[in-house]
Amino acid sequence: MSLALISSMLILSFNYATPIIVAALGGIYAERSGVTNIGIEGMMVIGAFVAAAFVPLFESQLGGVTPWIAIVLGTIAGGIYSLIHAYISIDLRGDQIISGTALNMLSVGIAVYFTQIIFGMQRTQTFNRGISKVNVPILKDIPILGDLLFMRIYPTFFLSLALVVITWFVLFKTRFGLRLRACGEHPSAVDSVGVSVRKMRYIGVILSGLLAGLAGGIMVLSQSTQFTAFSIHGVGFIALASLIFGRWNPWGVLGAGIFFGFSQIFTVYANDFAFLRSVPNEFFFMMPYVFTILAMLLFSRRSVAPKAVGEPYDVSKR
Amino acid sequence: MKRYLALLLVVILFAVSCTPAGTAEDHIGGADPEAPKVKLGLVTDTGGIDDKSFNQGTWEGLVAYKVGAKLEEENVKFLQSTSDADYIPNLTTLAEEGMDLVVAPGFLFEDAIKQFSTDFPEQKILFIDAAVDAPNVMNAVFAEHEGSYLVGVAAALKAQEAGKNKVGFIGGADFELIQKFEAGFEQGVKAIAPEMEIVIQYATAFDKPEEGQTLASKMYDDGVYVIYHAAGGTGNGAIKEAKDRRENEEDVWIIGVDKDQYEDGIYSGGDVESAILTSMIKRVDLAAYRAAQAVADGTFEGGTVEYKIKDEGVGIPAENPNLTDEWVNTINEYKDKIAGGEITVDPVPSRVK
């Protein structure tokens, strides 16, 4: 097995994993604050749509920075969209699963409605300037590792790594993180010391929406040439799975995301390994999903979900 | 936890859709202004009338006929579908308005046409890109293997010039229709360079760009120089990969499908450079035009019509900025040979036989 092959596989896995990691990190904020976020998929769709719609409209005026502005706008759009979920699940104390599911279903409808208005078709116009691969200066010259990790890679992967570190720091090293986590474990205790559970949960959900929007933008701008109703197709749910698989921990999410990415890539590369060649291809197509279910079975019992996740906080029941 | 499991199962059910496409203007003509005035109706699929693809191409064909035959504006119309559930109501509306011909572009209409053709046995129907067996339905299908042969020739010529010996094919899903693309491409490449290696990869769906990107990336890493994709939305990922690599000064190419995808391949926001070498186009406009003509002439009949190279039904775009004139001439020679019956393109790839 050659180094070039390993390098190809790793880089592709990272590319696949990037949106999964970013969206799952968002999920951590929401769920650690006590709000289940099934709506990640929908928030990604909104982020992807806004980012992909912005690029073809402005790329000729703005040039090379267009995709970066686009993902910032996608991020903001995801955050705004998540307010619906926050309002329903925090203020109205509605069922968080239903709210999230509704957001998922609504998202494609909204996106396609606007593409119809803006572009007169059910997808965005194809864009010319997406996020492109880069060779990282200096680091690419490190022997072996340089070729493996720093050649022809999407810069967004490094962004996702930075977000992992930031999330870890915020959650476990700051007062804000402690309060956020406490809201997901024992909201009445947080309330009793004068911290607003409502505010913390709003922040958690909005952060989740922002990151999901970012993930959607990254996904469409680095992997495709336009936004369609199928652009996200379930990656938000894979992110949810990574969140559980990664045990609500940023490092765990990083590992889970790369694992899911790698298992997807492996389906494509399986035929390159002589001893696997006799196995029908369909078997490998099935593997990521089988792994997901197995992981669920193995980890769910020892799962460390925030205790109060999914329960609306009701002061009168304190 | 159960609900997560249930949701994960939902993920698995997320899939399957295909995006066919194609437009152009030439080789249309012969509408007789004296012919009986017919009323023509089109129902779009959910892609909308301006999809730069099947809906738009079909509509352009009908409009070209309208102009040529001097039909009244209101006698040629379309109804847009916003979901699959609109197909039958839209078709029915047009039938009840007394349209002489109702057109349905794209295989998504298959079930609707089965139903509709029995509900309105007297209604003349044109169904594009798939076939329903009914006496009142004219099915227009395309000889994709013949068109793919031409882009195979283009790929091989380009690779030879660059001194490369590998080209590739990405299919959206491994079944008979997509194998026709593979077969034609394979034979076209072999016609120019019998020793050239052809790497074949199939994706699992037509709507997963990242899978197309992965497949393309793997192929390019393996030394493939030109990829031909027949994979709809999945192919968009392959195009993205080719663009990214070209931006990084890597010399690789991709060939588009169904319509002229040149614009989709433009990178760096420039307006000249595209990663699309050429495209294999299907002339749905021609199919619509000819069917309208047949209705007016009274020659319309049910059954399947295959649009081949000799009808100009499949081919490469009129403009190919990334091909030299010399190559275009060579491609045209092969085109004439196929049209003249000198070369027969087999729709079955060698790997399947």
Residues B328 and B198 placed together within one structural domain of the fold: yes
Tell me if A63 and B47 make a contact (CB, 8 A cut-off). Answer: no
CATH assignment of the domain containing B237: 3.40.50.2300
Looking at the partner chain, which of A16, A38, A129 has a beta carbon nearest the beta carbon of B268? A129
Cite the DSSP H helix spans in B201-277: 209-221, 232-247
pLDDT for res A111 = 94
Stretch 299-318 of chain B: residues touching chain A, C-beta under 8 Å: none
B279 strand-pairing partners: B256
SS3 sequence of A43-61? HHHHHHHHHHHHHHHHHHH
Comparing A144 with B69, the larger pLDDT belongs to B69
- The average confidence (pLDDT) of chain A is 89
Identify whether residues B123 and B60 lie together within a single domain.
yes
Token pair for B88: 């039958």
Nearest CA in chain B to A295: B5
Residue B15 has pLDDT above 70, yes or no: no
Percent of chain B with pLDDT strictly greater than 70: 90
Q: Note whether residue B346 is domain-resident.
A: no
| Displacement of CA B92 from its chain's centroid (Å) | 27
Tokens for A90? 């925090």
Closest among B249, B284, B292 to B31, alpha carbons compared:
B292
Q: Are B275 and B87 in contact (CB under 8 A)?
A: no
pLDDT, position A1? 59
Domain assignment present for residue B352? The answer is no
Per-residue model confidence as pLDDT tens digits over A1-13:
577 888 888 999 9
User: What confidence score (pLDDT) does residue B12 get?
Assistant: 40
Provide the pLDDT for residue B4. 57
Alpha-carbon distance of A263 to A253, in angstroms, equals 15
Q: Return the residue in A54, A97, A230, A291 with the most chain B beta carbons within 10 A, the one to mutate for interface testing.
A: A230
Residue with tokens 């699929």: B45
Is B155 inside any structural domain? yes
| Mean pLDDT within A37-66 | 94
pLDDT of B98 reads 92
| B256/B159 same-domain check | yes
Nearest CA among A164, A172, A209, A169 for reference residue A39: A209
Q: Is B48–A132 a contact, with Cβ atoms under 8 angstroms apart? A: no
Structural domain contains residue B5: no
The larger pLDDT score, comparing residue A102 to residue B27, is at A102
B197, part of any domain? yes
CA-to-CA separations, A222 to A18, A51, A154, B92, in angstroms, rounded: 10, 11, 8, 43
In the prediction, which pLDDT does A213 show? 98
Instruction: Please give the residue of chain B at the shortest CA–CA distance from A218.
Output: B210
| pLDDT score, position A199 | 95
Which pLDDT band holds residue B25 (cuts at 50, 70, 90)?
very low
Give A146-166 pLDDT, tens digit per residue.
Answer: 877 888 889 999 999 999 999
pLDDT at A150: 85
Residue A205 in contact with residue A33, Cβ under 8 Å? yes
Average pLDDT of chain B to the nearest whole number: 87
Q: By mean pLDDT, which of A70-74, B32-36, B197-201 is the weakest?
A: B32-36
d(CA B153, CA B336): 13
Percent residues over pLDDT 70 in chain A: 97
> Given this model, what pLDDT does residue B18 score?
30
Task: Give the pLDDT score at B87.
Answer: 92
Average pLDDT for B147-153: 97
Pair B176, B126 in one domain: no
* pTM, full prediction: 0.84
Give the bridge partners for B280, in sequence order.
Answer: B257
pLDDT over 60 at A49, yes or no: yes
Angle between helical axes of A40-62 and A3-32 (0-180°, round to 10):
120
Q: Quick one: average pLDDT of B342-353?
A: 92
Q: Which residues of A touch B50 (CB under 8 A)?
A: 119-121
Domain count, chain B: 2
Do B179 and B107 share a structural domain? no
pLDDT surpassing 60 at residue B1: no
- The answer to whether residue A265 neighbours chain B at the CB level (below 8 Å) is yes
Instruction: For residue A302, name the pLDDT band (cuts at 50, 70, 90).
Output: low
Backbone φ and ψ for B38, nearest 5 degrees, come out as -110, 160
Tell me the sheet residues that pair with A112.
none
Same domain, B131 and B187: no
Instruction: Please report whether residue B287 resides in a domain.
Output: yes
Q: Which of residues 17-56 of A touch B (CB under 8 A)?
A: 38
pLDDT in tens, B64-82: 999 988 888 889 999 988 7
Question: What pLDDT shows up at residue B213?
Answer: 94
Chain segment A188-232, per-residue pLDDT in tens: 999 999 999 999 999 999 999 999 999 999 999 999 989 988 889
ipTM of the complex: 0.86
Tens digits of residue pLDDT in B257-311: 988 889 889 887 555 789 999 999 999 999 999 999 999 989 999 999 999 999 8
Is A63 touching B (CB cutoff 8 A)? yes
Can you tell me the distance from the alpha carbon of B168 to that of A8, in angstroms, rounded to the nearest whole number?
17
Looking at the structure, do residues B53 and B152 belong to the same domain, yes or no?
A: no
**Both B194 and B164 in a single domain?**
yes
Residue appearing with tokens 């709000």: A35
**What is the distance between the alpha carbons of residues A210 and A166, in angstroms, rounded to a whole number?**
15
Using CA atoms, how far residue B45 sits from A194, A201, B50, B241, B334, in Å, is: 57, 43, 11, 29, 35
Provide mean pLDDT across the span B335-346.
94
* Residue B20 in domain: yes
Q: Are residues B164 and B138 in the same domain?
A: no
Residue B270 is predicted with a pLDDT of 54
Q: Are A59 and A129 in contact (CB under 8 A)?
A: yes
Name which of A233, A261, A250 is nearest A41 in CA terms. Answer: A233
pLDDT of residue B28: 67
Distance from CA of A280 to the nearest CA of B (A): 13
User: Do both B207 and B333 map to the same domain?
Assistant: yes
| CA-based R_g, chain A, Å | 20
Q: Which two tokens stand for residue A3?
A: 């180094």
CA R_g for chain B: 21
> Do B97 and B153 share a domain, yes or no?
no
- Chain B hits for A12, CB-CB cut-off 8 Å, are 214, 217-218
Q: What percent of chain B has pLDDT over 90?
A: 65
> Mean pLDDT across the stretch B195-221?
92
Residue numbers of the domain that contains B329: 144-282+323-339
Assess B80–A contact: CB distance below 8 Å, yes or no: no
Task: Name which residue leads in pLDDT, B51 or B139.
Answer: B139
From CA B89, how far away is CA B92, in angstroms rounded? Answer: 5
Residue B256 domain-assigned?
yes
Calculate the dihedral angle through the C-alpha atoms of B114, B115, B116, B120, rounding to the nearest 10 degrees: 110
Alpha helices in A121-186 (DSSP H): 145-149, 155-173, 175-185
Whether A186 shows a pLDDT value over 70: the answer reads yes
Is pLDDT above 70 for B7?
no
Q: Is the pLDDT of residue A249 over 50?
A: yes
What pLDDT is attached to residue B6? 53
Q: Are residues B52 and B132 in the same domain?
A: yes
Mean pLDDT within B233-257 = 92
